[in-house]
Amino acid sequence: MKLVISFALPLLFGVLFQQFYSFVDTAIVGRYLGAEKLAAVGATGSVNFLVIGLCLGLCSGFSIPIAQAFGAKDEGEVRRNVWHAVVLSGGMSLLFALAATLLCRPMLRLMNTPEEILNDSARYISIIFAAIPCCVLYNMASGIMRSLGDSRTPVLFLVMASLINIALDLFLIIACGMDVAGAAVATAVSQLLSGIGCVIVMIRKFPILRLRKEDRQLSLNRAKHMLGIGLPMGLQFSITAIGSVMVQWSVNGLGVNAVAAISAATKISAFFASVFDALASTMATFAGQNIGARKLERVNQGLKAAAVLGTGYCLTALGIVLLFVRPMLSLFVDSAAAPEVMEMAARFLRINASFYIPLLFVNIVRLCIQGMGYTRVAMIAGMFEMVARTVVAVLVVPALGFTGACLANPAAWIMADVFLIPCYIRIMRGLQGRLLPGTPEYHGAEKKHAQLLRFRKAA
């Protein structure tokens, strides 16, 4: 419990600050530019998650072999994995940036984005997509440092980026009159600066990462192995996002007020979900290192600790939402000018907060499984989420209207848990025979592991 808390707290501060400057983005747009501009930014949320989620999933996946090699105390393997992660993430981020920027407007049209906000939405998201390499730079560098046990340094640069982002928001939107484009430029610049800072400190702080000539030799087999872990994680985000796109499509059909309401409520919900993100990232690294060190029971202990901490937090968060939902939403929405938006946003937030415990288990169980190397299982869980959201979007929203849209996330979380929890139990039972001392399978695995280490040293 103590170790999980000590590792998760810096991650929590990092996620909170990441949400904080996104929070400020939305608040400045909503309060200074109005509900229509807020809807324009909010309408891009699901397509943003579709593309950016793919990139972030790749970064998380590439970090897993690094954490496992570090847990196994194989420094050469750590360096080679880091080099391949840098090359792969850099090349793919440029490719994604080009494709997404060219296709952003057609994607918004397919999502039934209202015409009155389409141009603003396209202007905002095209800048965000063009800056994908900046986003990947920070997330890849911070993922590498977390794999090596340092969860604090990325937070310091994220705090710096948050402050820069807020200052740029105020300057570009209010002083320069750049409208929603100012919010996008501020986000891109802050991500770039935090990524550069992380890279500089990472190189200086970790001598293990000082690459030698032989470490820079690209291996097709290693690249395939890392893509085999990273792509399923990225696709898991994107598959999940397809369901969100379907929900956004159905909400867009309900009008600008519904889009603005979900935009405001989602920002507050994401702020509360920061704890789940921190615990999930903790479990990914914790499970990866302990699987690398062959300490299987500690994986169970870590997951139990995260579950206890998270459940207590879920109940506290629900109480806060029920008591203070309207004052929190007033940061984004003027209740006197837009009373319907306020009522709808409050309804969305109350319903979603009632299902935070299922969301907790989706996060910690999925990332624990990913940390152990079973990334395809997590991708299948994303498919369950996609199916649940799609069913709600196509069948429930037309029948119940906005209340149906409020049920999309809870349905997805429950469906994912129904799949993930039995999978985790089955995986652990399978690993016990292969990793626990005293079993024939363990001794066979030990022999193969020793042979692999001798082969790597000889190579």
Give me the residue spans of the domains in the chain.
2-458
Residues in CB range of 175: below 8 A, 6 or more apart: none
Average pLDDT (387-399) is: 89
Indicate the pLDDT class of residue 449, thresholds 50, 70 and 90.
very low
Residues in CB range of 167: below 8 A, 6 or more apart: none
The total of other beta-carbon atoms located within 10 Å of residue 50's CB is 21
CA–CA distance, 15 with 273 (Å, rounded to integer): 9
CA–CA distance, 147 with 6 (Å, rounded to integer): 15
What is the three-class DSSP state of 333?
coil
The total of other beta-carbon atoms located within 10 Å of residue 331's CB is 15
Q: Determine the pLDDT at residue 260.
A: 82
Residues in CB range of 106: below 8 A, 6 or more apart: none
- What are residue 37's phi and psi, to 5 degrees? -70, -35
Average pLDDT (44-67) is: 79
Cα-Cα end-to-end distance for the chain: 40
Whether the predicted pLDDT of 15 surpasses 70 = no
Q: Determine the pLDDT at residue 349.
A: 92
| Tens digits of residue pLDDT in 211-221 | 787 778 888 88
**pLDDT higher at 195 or 338:** 195
Whether the predicted pLDDT of 335 surpasses 80 = no
**pLDDT higher at 412 or 297:** 412
The total of other beta-carbon atoms located within 10 Å of residue 214's CB is 10
- From residue 457, alpha-carbon distances to 41, 374, 450, 453 in Å are 52, 27, 11, 6
- From residue 269, alpha-carbon distances to 321, 329, 350 in Å are 9, 11, 10
Whether the predicted pLDDT of 241 surpasses 80 = no
- From residue 183, alpha-carbon distances to 109, 169, 175, 448 in Å are 22, 6, 12, 53
Q: Determine the pLDDT at residue 19.
A: 67
Whether the predicted pLDDT of 253 surpasses 70 = yes
Average pLDDT (89-106) is: 89
Q: How buried is 229 (Cβ within 10 angstroms: 0-12 exposed, 13-18 middle, 19+ buried)?
A: buried
**pLDDT higher at 158 or 417:** 417
The total of other beta-carbon atoms located within 10 Å of residue 395's CB is 12
Whether the predicted pLDDT of 337 surpasses 50 = yes
Indicate the pLDDT class of residue 18, thresholds 50, 70 and 90.
low
Mean pLDDT of the chain: 81
Tokens representing residue 167 in the block? 């200052």
CA–CA distance, 32 with 25 (Å, rounded to integer): 11
- Single-letter amino acid code for the residue at 418: V
Q: What is the DSSP string of 366-415?
A: HHHHHHTT-HHHHHHHHHHHHHHHHHIIIIIHHHHTHHHHHTHHHHHHHH
> What letter would DSSP give residue 210?
-
Asked whether the beta carbons of 230 and 61 are under 8 A apart, the reply is yes
Q: Determine the pLDDT at residue 334.
A: 67
Point out the least confidently predicted range of 17-26, 77-86, 281-290.
17-26
Average pLDDT (272-284) is: 84
**pLDDT higher at 253 or 11:** 253
Point out the least confidently predicted range of 127-131, 245-249, 304-308, 441-445.
441-445
| Tens digits of residue pLDDT in 286-320 | 887 777 777 777 888 888 988 998 999 999 999 99
Whether the predicted pLDDT of 455 surpasses 50 = no
Asked whether the beta carbons of 288 and 68 are under 8 A apart, the reply is yes
Q: How buried is 244 (Cβ within 10 angstroms: 0-12 exposed, 13-18 middle, 19+ buried)?
A: buried
Q: Determine the pLDDT at residue 146.
A: 80
Whether the predicted pLDDT of 245 surpasses 90 = no
